[in-house]
Structure 1
């Protein structure tokens, strides 16, 4: 079974503030910008007893009410809100990926002294309260603050070339992608939001 990690550079404060904001203009703008994408997204879940994603987006922006057993759709709705506010980052080294790949990359980062960020943490969290947790832990959500990205870049810069060269080439490439995400976040003064599915 394969998985994917999708990451964005985004102002995390703006993203968090969207939850429960009651901003109907934001809801309409998301619906307009992603109209065909949202229809395609719903088509992937046809036949399942899941809320249409537009309804889920409305509930997240309004801060509820939330239906029981629809946490997965509410967390996907949060992903669409993130996509609206953020900028998509290259995820070629993480889509598709096998189970355990984020942890493998984290081991590589740790081996060269990068401990400020963790790829695996994108799979363990969820959208902020009051959004319910996803029913099957998918999508997972996590974020790296600007400060953590800057610290990771410092740690990466302090690592010697020999320790980087000793990494498996695929792990090194994925680690370099992570540092690219951190550089993009640092340059924008924003954070990184990641969704695991």
Structure 2
């Protein structure tokens, strides 16, 4: 199996997973936009707990090891549904404590992201929700170790892989795995460029 050498997260790993990889997102544009002046290490961890729990409950969540030094979250997009009931089960209210403006920006970002996603690909595919490696462990090949099993799974199933990212450096990294920019757009109310990237299915 593709993921035999990785650790599959469960609900008990959510808090520790957020703690482990939060440092990787301290300057990430998406978090800066959504959290605004509420951005700090704790608010990033709250947001990550929400995302990780979603993947544990409704998608797939794997780590390099039980130490959770690096994490990948993904879902077959046919079963991906970011509904209100799912958000509530994953703790969306923990984000609401940061105020209405944070909630509004999160909603706008989610709507914008889903629109770009749906315009980029209609066929069944694997959706990479998040890939993060603890800052002190970056440069050790952990991202590759997390990414390749998913790409192999997609190839076996004849599926494409899709992700969105922000920043030219990230674009270059994903291009090494065969992803191509298929569209881009500025996140509403910001100057952040979001890139839709697609790795086509193998034929």
Which structure carries more relative contact order (alpha carbon 8 Å, separation 6+)?
Answer: 1
Question: Hey, which of these two has a bigger chunk of strand by percent?
Answer: 2
Pair in the same fold by TM > 0.5: no
TM-score, normalized by length of structure 1?
0.30
Which is greater in Rg? Answer: 1
Question: Hey, which of these two has a bigger chunk of helix by percent?
Answer: 1
TM-score, normalized by length of structure 2?
0.29
